[in-house]
Amino acid sequence: MDSEKDILASANATLGRINYQAIVNSGGHTLIADEPADLGGADTGMAPYNLLLSGLASCTVITLRMYIERKMWIVDEINISLEMFKNKEGVQIDAKITFKGELTNEQRERLLTIADACPVHKMLVGNVVINNALQ
């Protein structure tokens, strides 16, 4: 185990006796995660897959906005819609990105490349290791 780790983020979740409502704390913020009613939850918060997609979606639009501001392009709004599917190879995420603003086709293509540079995107398609341990 590497003794020198750069912590990118941390989170904890607590689940009591209410199926399947988890109280999640991260970065000084609290949210509720839950499963939909058809899976035995009470649907009081986003389900884990939705939270994962939310992280990817928000990271992507933030990365795009940072690039757009650096280039001083005129873009009023960035929208990304994500859907996750199971397929033969595992899991596939389809993303549709739209922009409201003054962009050429060349700029739009460049932004598509920048979307792939989002840190969460790179993490999801890269090599992620999860080490579970009991305390």
**Residue 46: predicted pLDDT:** 96
Q: What is the pLDDT of residues 56-88, one digit of tens each?
A: 999 999 999 999 999 999 999 999 999 999 999
Given a cut of 70, the residues of the chain with pLDDT beneath it are 1-3
**Residue 55: predicted pLDDT:** 96
**Residue 23: predicted pLDDT:** 96
**Nearest alpha carbon to residue 82 among 48, 49, 112:** 49
pTM of the model: 0.90
**Residue 4: predicted pLDDT:** 74
Determine the angle formed by the axes of helices 48-71 and 105-115, rounding to 10 degrees: 130
Neighbours of 82 (CB within 10 A): 16
**Residue 127: predicted pLDDT:** 87
Which residues are 77's β-sheet partners?
Answer: 100
**Residue 2: predicted pLDDT:** 52
